[in-house]
């Protein structure tokens, strides 16, 4: 008798323990801890291989993790006694549905309904649940099944959540909102309903409302991890606040399965919170663990962390590692710009700096950023006294740039002049004269440029621009620069009149003009007597 009682107690305890493990598995699925649910349910089925409901929930965890083959393999190894068990039939239908074998899946669902004569609300709910979570699901069919289930049970909160999910899949936010609200009215502790309401407004990009609903999900159930995750996302991407993001992430991490994805996210947060040494250490741990599977962006994160810590040499090494591991198609202009700046900080050779700025410019899609690169490249060329490259980059910087100034245009012309590209310099200073006709810079440098082109003064190319320069300058209020320019202009025209035109009287007039503004001008005093003598000889010969 005692032995029988002991056996009964042992069997009762065994049944309760297994029942508890099944409920724990369901709970983990609710909290989106799919890996934990999978482990619990596998262990449960080792003890009770004939538990069709556990087999269905295990199948569900596989499907939620996109592991269709695992689900199919596990079902294939199930006991033959489950062939006509409703939950087993639903699990089989779920796999077929995930494989887009609609007719086969519907046959298994219908068979499960027939066996239970359509009166088992749990079976109906399970079918609707599978139909809704599948990418190939039929939402109209799911809604019809939900309505039938509602007639068979008073547990409407869960069914209203499923109804809301079906409407969300149909992109009917209004009906989904009503369904989730009804679920909350039935059960105010159902965090999932608040969470999905938040998801509706997240899709509508309405932060005031989705933040409120995610907060309410946590208030309803402080253990509901998915809501913490969405709040973490919000404070990382939408309204950056690294400290708040870290707080929500740590809560989420405690309530969710361990994952390498968490390690990446935590490393990102360490960087965003400026905890650079910890970010570097954590990132290196992930690289050691993941090896060839590691996301190359971690090399970049380490590089940025070293850069922020003042270690430019290490930053350069890890950026080069990033370029070696990442696919070319994933590079962005900022990657190359950062590399160029790191080389600048590391006092590297100018060619390396220019190379990466050029790469940044080549793939930049933002015009404002592109113009910045052109300006940086021009500045680097100026440091190297590479006036040819400086002219090239300043030309690209100025062309089509609404923010470029007259100084930028002037510098472009000067760099062209210094690179001895006089045709380009003439064109640039001509543009300057057109845009700023009241300023003398364009006329002066165009005159200088044409003086070089017409080095023998045979064509008088510089004369029109020196003449225009004189007309532009106000003679009654000469600045030191104006005085220098006017003297140079008069002297050049005088030389042209004397040497090319042989008009010595005209040349004397221009030297006299020089003496009017610069009475002690040595050249004017020197050449006037010579020109007067030449003029006299010319008259005598006539």
The answer to whether the beta carbons of residues 466 and 496 sit under 8 Å apart is no
Instruction: Give 346's contacts (C-beta < 8 A, 6+ positions apart).
Output: 312, 313, 315, 316
CA–CA separation, 170 and 138 (whole Å): 10
The answer to whether the beta carbons of residues 165 and 130 sit under 8 Å apart is no
Question: Structure pTM?
Answer: 0.74
The answer to whether the beta carbons of residues 415 and 401 sit under 8 Å apart is no
CA–CA separation, 247 and 186 (whole Å): 32
DSSP state string for 390-439: HHHHHHHHHTT-TT--HHHHHHHHHHHHHTT-HHHHHHHHHHHHHH-TT-
Angle, helices 68-76/86-98, rounded to nearest 10 degrees: 140
C-alpha count within 13 angstroms, C-beta hemisphere, residue 129 = 22
Instruction: Give 243's contacts (C-beta < 8 A, 6+ positions apart).
Output: 273
| Residue among 117, 115, 143, 113 at smallest CA distance from 129 | 143
The answer to whether the beta carbons of residues 449 and 422 sit under 8 Å apart is yes
3-state secondary structure of 325: helix
CA–CA separation, 251 and 501 (whole Å): 91
Q: Provide the 10 A C-beta neighbour count for residue 194.
A: 27
- pLDDT score at 9: 37
CA–CA separation, 206 and 323 (whole Å): 38
For domain 172-258, give its CATH number from 3.50.40.10, 2.40.37.10, 1.10.3720.10, 1.25.40.10: 1.25.40.10
- pLDDT score at 8: 41
Kindly state the tokens that stand for 1: 């008798």
What is the separation, in whole angstroms, between the first and last Cα of the chain? 157
Count Cβ neighbours within 10 Å for each residue of 287-321 and write b for 16 or more, e otherwise. beeeeeebeebbbbbbbbbbbeeebbebbbbbbeb
DSSP state string for 108-130: HHHHHHHHTTT--HHHHHHHHHH
| Residue among 199, 220, 224 at smallest CA distance from 209 | 199
Which regions of the chain carry the CATH code 1.25.40.10?
Answer: 1-153, 172-258
Superfamily (CATH H level) for 1-153: Tetratricopeptide repeat domain (1.25.40.10)
Kindly state the tokens that stand for 348: 């590297």
- pLDDT score at 154: 79
- As to burial, measured by CB atoms within 10 angstroms (0-12 exposed, 13-18 middle, 19+ buried), residue 68 is middle
CA 531, distance to chain mean position in Å, is 72
Ordered per-residue pLDDT tens for the chain, 542 residues: 445 544 443 344 444 456 688 999 999 999 999 999 999 999 999 999 999 999 999 999 999 999 999 999 999 999 999 999 999 999 999 999 999 999 999 999 999 999 999 999 999 999 999 999 999 999 999 999 999 999 998 778 999 999 999 999 999 999 999 999 999 999 999 999 999 999 999 999 999 999 999 999 999 999 999 999 999 999 999 999 999 999 999 999 999 999 999 999 999 999 999 999 999 999 999 999 999 999 999 999 999 999 999 999 999 999 999 999 999 999 999 999 999 989 888 878 778 888 898 898 888 878 888 898 889 889 988 988 999 999 999 999 999 999 999 999 999 999 999 999 999 999 999 999 999 999 999 999 999 999 999 999 999 999 999 999 999 998 878 899 999 999 999 999 999 999 999 999 999 999 999 999 999 999 999 999 999 888 777 666 65
């Amino acid at each position: 008798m005692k032995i029988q009682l002991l056996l009964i107690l042992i069997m009762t305890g065994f049944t309760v323990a297994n029942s508890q493990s099944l409920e724990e598995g369901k709970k983990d699925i609710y909290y989106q801890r799919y890996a934990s649910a999978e482990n619990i349910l596998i262990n449960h089925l080792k003890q009770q291989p004939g538990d069709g409901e556990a087999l269905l929930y295990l199948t569900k965890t596989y499907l939620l993790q996109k592991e269709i083959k695992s689900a199919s393999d596990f079902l294939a190894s199930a006991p033959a006694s489950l062939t006509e068990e409703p939950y087993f039939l639903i699990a089989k239908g779920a796999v077929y549905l995930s494989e887009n074998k609609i007719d086969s899946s519907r046959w298994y669902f219908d068979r499960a309904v027939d066996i239970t004569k359509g009166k088992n609300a749990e079976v109906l709910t399970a079918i609707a649940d599978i139909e809704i979570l599948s990418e190939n699901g039929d939402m109209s069919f799911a809604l019809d099944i939900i309505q039938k289930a509602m007639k068979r049970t008073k547990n409407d909160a869960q069914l209203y959540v499923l109804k809301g999910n079906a409407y969300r899949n149909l992109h009917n936010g209004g009906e989904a909102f009503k369904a989730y609200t009804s679920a909350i009215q039935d059960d105010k502790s159902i965090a999932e309903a608040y969470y999905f309401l938040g998801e509706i407004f997240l899709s509508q990009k309405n932060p005031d409302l989705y933040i409120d609903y995610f907060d309410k999900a946590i208030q309803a159930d402080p253990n509901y991890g998915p809501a913490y995750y969405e709040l973490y996302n919000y404070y990382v991407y939408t309204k950056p606040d690294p400290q708040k993001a870290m707080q929500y992430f740590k809560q989420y991490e405690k309530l969710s399965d361990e994952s390498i994805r968490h390690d990446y996210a935590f490393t990102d947060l360490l960087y965003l919170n400026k905890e650079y040494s910890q970010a570097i250490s954590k990132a290196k741990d992930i690289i050691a663990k993941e090896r060839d599977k590691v996301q190359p962006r971690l090399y970049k994160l380490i590089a940025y962390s070293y850069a922020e810590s003042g270690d430019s040499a290490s930053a350069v090494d890890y950026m080069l590692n990033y370029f070696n591991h990442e696919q070319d198609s994933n590079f962005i202009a900022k990657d190359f710009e950062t590399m160029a700046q790191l080389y600048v900080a590391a006092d590297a050779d100018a060619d390396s700096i220019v190379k990466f700025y050029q790469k940044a410019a080549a793939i930049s899609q933002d015009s404002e950023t592109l113009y910045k690169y052109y300006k940086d490249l021009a500045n680097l060329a100026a440091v190297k006294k590479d006036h040819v490259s400086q002219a090239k980059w300043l030309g690209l910087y100025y062309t089509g740039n609404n923010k470029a100034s007259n100084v930028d245009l002037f510098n472009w012309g000067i760099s062209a002049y210094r690179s001895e590209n006089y045709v380009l310099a003439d064109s640039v200073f001509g543009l300057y004269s057109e845009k700023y006709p009241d300023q003398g810079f364009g006329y002066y440098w165009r005159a200088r440029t044409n003086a070089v082109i017409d080095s023998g003064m045979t064509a008088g190319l510089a004369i029109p621009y020196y003449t225009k320069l004189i007309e532009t300058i106000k003679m009654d209020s000469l600045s030191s620069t104006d005085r220098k320019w006017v003297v140079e202009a008069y002297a050049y025209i005088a030389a042209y009149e004397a040497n090319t035109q042989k008009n010595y009287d005209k040349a004397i007039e221009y030297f006299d003009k020089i003496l009017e503004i610069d009475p002690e001008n040595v050249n004017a005093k020197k050449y006037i007597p010579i020109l007067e003598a030449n003029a006299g000889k010319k008259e005598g010969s006539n």
